Amino acid sequence: MNTMSGDFRRDLEIRRYPILVYALTPLVALVLQAWLPRFLAGYAWFDLPLVVTVYFALVQRIPIQGTIMGAGMGLFEDALTGHAIGVNGIAKTVVGFLASSVGTRIDVDNHTIRLGLTFLLSLLSSAIYVAVYRMLLGLRLEWSWVIELIKSVANTLIALVLFPALDRLQIRD
Amino acid sequence: MESFFIRYRNVLVLLTLLVVQIVGLAVQVRRTSAGSNSLDLQDGAGVRLIRLWANAVVSPPEKLIHQAKLGAATFWNQYIDLRHTQQDNQELQKTIDRLRLEQASLLEDAKQGQRLQALLNFQEKYIYKTVAAQAIGSSGSDQSRVFTIDKGSNYGLKPDMAVITPDGIIGKVREVFPSTAQVLEINDQSSGAGVILETTRIRGILRGNAIGQPQIVGILADQRIQPGEKVLTAGGDLIFPRGLPVGVVEKIVRDPEPDRDGFIDVVIKPAAHLDRLDEVLVITATEARFSEQQQQDLATSEALKGPEAAAIEEQKKASAIMAERLPGLIDPNLPPDQQPLLDSSNPSIVTRPPQAVHPDRFTPGGANQAAPGSGSPTAPDADKKAATPGATANPATPATPQNPATPRRKPQP
């Protein structure tokens, strides 16, 4: 893994995007996440808001922004579920913080590293979700790690397509 | 001190957000008396505001996409893909006629049931008014079985209204917004509906498991519960009217709670397609009487029942006439009181063998003819003698009517 000084990389490569990309990409991810499962009949094993959170946290490399974005996306997802608000919020807050913290220390242009990070952070998000649901709330929650593994792979495959597409939208000086 | 906040600002922001969310969870989650897997679903004002904002952001694009899809489908179905439409219409008309007749035949039972319920001071609630709604979105989580419909408080929807399809129940309205509403499906882990098994009459509470299967939880093990038994709504939850189809029993599993030996969970295969919902009905009113539309349908069924009953009566008359003309059942040469069907002294209708061309001593009735002094009995007398043991050479052989012109042969020495 290519590591270097965080401040050096931040000064070297600060990616900027049009404001519409910042506004619309999370919104489209949330809408699609709510809309697509209707056609997949219970097989919606992916998490578009998580992928978008990881992407922006990695390329922005500002932990506060990544943390806030993760919290916002997670709370938004919770608000649509009808369950208690905060379970997804906690999971994605941690994911956003970790992704942006790691983004200051690695070469975010390397696709393999980004995809590997997406896979690991997806698994971590699932683990935090289960932990909060079972331990913090004390609720019974049946869980299948096979499904979570499939979901992580699916998120990685989405990132494989989505990350290069979003890279093309950045503003180049 | 300032350098501490600046130096650790990232971690401090993270911790602040986590603490706020954990406190928020603690405020929201209230345990109910139903057990360790149940939460109070009543949201506070702040939580409801967050849900309202999220819904306001997501619903308009979802509605737009749904309207576009609906428009394209309508254009295709109504202007292009019109094959077999006439045939479908004819089949649907036949179905409507058949259902109207069935409805008319059940009407008397329903009226009698209402009278009996009135005597018992118990009033059955009927579905009085419904609002049709389209499913436009979902929760987006495989752990949450919630979907969004395109009707809200503007159409009179309120929380805890039942949502159904013609196949079976779907769930109940959870959150209502001005133009949309969230529906909690019966296979969500936080749902609950009172149900009853149709045959065994065992009651229970229906809720979902983690993989999205509705199940009746925490009932005593009973050998009578078998896969395939129908499950209906019990009506005791004040949400679903009694008797609506829920599904059929798929399998029986042990209660996973460690301290509940002897209890089982009954997994249900839902009658409605919960994964592929398009149009649903929200029951906005239930009354102890039929709605105006239902009364109109009943009147139509009653009107149709008269001509249909007359047609059935005509068919019965034609069948009676045909029965009279059937061979063997009625002998036109005998008076009505001696008909084989009416003769009580004749326990069975005897099939008469054909008359012999050259009778001999083996011919039925030949022995009687050979006996000196014997007359020519009539057929009924012959039958009576044949039925008497020793009256003929072969008592088991039925007698036949004798023909006096038939030449008789003397017995050979």
Radius of gyration of chain A (CA): 16
Query: How much of chain B is in helix, strand and coil states, percent to nearest 5?
Result: 35, 20, 45
ipTM metric: 0.87
Burial of B201 (0-12, 13-18, 19+ CB in 10 A): exposed
The one-letter code for the residue type at B394 is N
pLDDT band at B371 (very low <50, low <70, confident <90, very high): very low
pLDDT at A73 over 90: yes
Decide if B377 touches A, using CB distance below 8 A: no
Nearest beta carbon to residue A82 from set B53, B136, B174: B174
**pLDDT per position as a tens digit, B244-256:** 899 999 998 887 7
Centre a 10 Å sphere on the Cβ of residue B11 and count the other Cβ atoms it contains: 13
DSSP letter assigned to residue B154: G
Distance separating alpha carbons of residues B217 and B253, to the nearest angstrom: 10
Decide if A65 touches B, using CB distance below 8 A: no
Question: For the domain bounded by B45-83+125-287, which CATH number is listed?
Answer: 2.40.10.340
Nearest beta carbon to residue A67 from set B17, B144, B276: B17
Are A35 and B137 a contacting pair at CB < 8 A? Answer: yes
* Higher per-residue pLDDT: B160 or B317: B160
pLDDT at A75 over 90: yes
Put simply, the chain B residues between 248 and 267 with a CB less than 8 A from any chain A CB are 256
DSSP secondary structure string, B262-282? TEEEEEEEESS-TTS--EEEE
Q: How far apart are the first and last CA of chain A?
A: 27
pLDDT at B41 over 80: no
* Higher per-residue pLDDT: B34 or B14: B14
Does residue B232 contact residue B200 with C-beta atoms inside 8 Å? no
**pLDDT per position as a tens digit, B70-83:** 889 888 888 888 88
Does residue B202 contact residue B226 with C-beta atoms inside 8 Å? no
Distance separating alpha carbons of residues A161 and A111, to the nearest angstrom: 11
Q: How far apart are the first and last CA of chain B?
A: 149
**B53-79: average pLDDT:** 87
Are A88 and B51 a contacting pair at CB < 8 A? Answer: no
Whose tokens are 């975010």? That residue is: A108
pLDDT band at A50 (very low <50, low <70, confident <90, very high): very high
Between A118-127, B146-155, B324-333, B358-367, the lowest mean confidence (pLDDT) is in B324-333
pTM over 0.80: no
Residues 6 or more apart from A49 whose CB is under 8 A from it?
A26, A29, A30, A33, A73, A74, A76, A77, A92
pLDDT score, position B157:
93
Residues of B in Cβ contact (< 8 Å) with A83: 143-144, 190
Strands (E) across B338-413 are located at none
**pLDDT per position as a tens digit, B266-318:** 999 999 988 878 889 999 887 766 667 767 777 777 676 666 666 766 777 77
